[in-house]
Amino acid sequence: MSNEMTLFGGAALPSYLQGAELDATTKALAGSGGGGRRISIKGGIFRMVVDGKQVAENEDRAMNVVVVAAAPHINRQWHEKAYVEGGEATAADCMSEDGKTPSKDSAKPQSTSCDTCPQNIAGSGQGDSRACRYQQRLAVVLEGEMDGPVYQLPLPAASLFGKGEANGKKLPLQAYARLLAQNGVPITAVVTEMRFDTAVSTPKLTFSPVRPLTQAEFETIKEQGASSDAQQAIKLTVFKQDGGKPAAKVETKPAAPVTEDGSPAEAEPAEPKVASKAKPAAPAGKRPVSEVIAAWDE
C-alpha cells in the first residue's frame, strides 16, 4: 500500500500537490539528512565531505553555487599543534565566533580579547604571519541542485580580503559582496562562480557573478536559507560539522599554523581595516540584476 493510500484512505492526491517539492518546514521537522555536508578546498581541489569523510572531488578550476546563508561574523581559530600531512580535521584550541572574544568552547583560551591576544600579532605564526586565523562560514547549494543538499563552505582569510581584479571579476568574497550590495543585488539572488586562483600556491578562491536567479529559483533559495541545514552550516565549526569529538590535547609548540580542515594555513593577509559606515545600498529595483551582470562582462 502506498503512502498516499495510507495517508488519505485511498483518496487521490490533488494534482497541484503531485510532484511538489518538499518545503523547508517539512524538511526541518522530518530531518532532511543534509547535515554534516561541506565543500573543502584542501589541496586546490573542490572536495565533497560528508560526516568527515570525502565522498567525491571535482578537479575543475571553477564551480557554480548559490550562497543561501552566511555566519554573521568572521570567526577566529588557533591550533596549538603543528600540521601533520594527511592529518584529520581537529578542533581549534582557541576560537572566537565574533572575532572579539574567545568562545566558551575554547579548550585553551589565549586571551580575554582577540585584539590583545599574543596569537594575533605578526610573527606568532609561521614567518611574519599570525598564529590565529580568520575564517568565514557560508551555506551554499550547487547551481544544478538548488533544492538539493546544503553544504558548509569554510573560507580562509586569503579568499575573504583584498581588492581583486580591476574589472570587477575574480574578487575576494568581501569585495564581491560589496559590489553586489552597491548595485542593490542580494548575493542570494545570483549564481556565483567560485574559482581557484592559480597564481598562488595555497588554496584561494575568487568570486564572480554568473546570472540572476529566476523568481522560482529565488523562492527556493529563500527556503534553503531558512532551513536547519543552512543554519547548522553557518553555526558549527568544521570539526563539529564533521561530527568530530574533542581528543586529549598534547602540549606542543606550533611549528606552523593549520586550519580546521587539516591543511597548512596560507600566509595571513594584512589585518582588514575597520571601514567607516558605508552608505545605504541602492534599492534593488534601481537596475535589473541582468543589466548589472552584463555590465561586469563588458
pLDDT tens string 219-265: 999 999 999 999 999 988 776 665 555 433 434 444 445 555 555 55
| 89 closest CA partner among 231, 225, 245, 218 | 245
pLDDT above 50 (res 6): no
pLDDT the model gives residue 121 = 84
Mean pLDDT for all residues in the chain: 77
Angle at 98 between CA 76 and CA 240, to 5 degrees: 60
pLDDT the model gives residue 177 = 93
Q: Which residues of 64-74 are buried (b: 16+ CB within 10 A; e: fewer)?
A: bbbbbbbbeeb
Q: Could you count the other beta carbons within 10 Å of the beta carbon of residue 35? A: 18
Mean pLDDT score, 130-145: 92
* DSSP state letter for 264: B
pLDDT the model gives residue 211 = 94
Contact 77, 135 (CB under 8 A): yes
Q: Could you count the other beta carbons within 10 Å of the beta carbon of residue 80? A: 20
Q: What is the pLDDT of residues 182-214, one digit of tens each?
A: 889 999 999 999 999 988 888 999 999 999 999
pLDDT the model gives residue 65 = 98
Cell readout for 199 is: 597564481
Q: What percent of the chain has pLDDT over 70?
A: 65
Better-scored residue on pLDDT, 180 or 278? 180
289's CB contacts (< 8 A; 6+ apart) are 185, 189, 190, 212
Q: How far apart are CA 96 and CA 114, in angstroms?
A: 8
Query: Do you know the residue count of the chain?
Result: 298
Mean pLDDT score, 151-167: 86
pLDDT the model gives residue 7 = 59
Mean pLDDT score, 93-109: 85
pLDDT above 80 (res 293): no
Mean pLDDT score, 147-172: 86
Give me the residue spans of the domains in the chain. Answer: 22-156+217-266
pLDDT the model gives residue 237 = 77
pLDDT above 60 (res 143): yes
pLDDT above 80 (res 276): no
Q: How far apart are CA 44 and CA 201, in angstroms?
A: 9
pLDDT the model gives residue 298 = 57
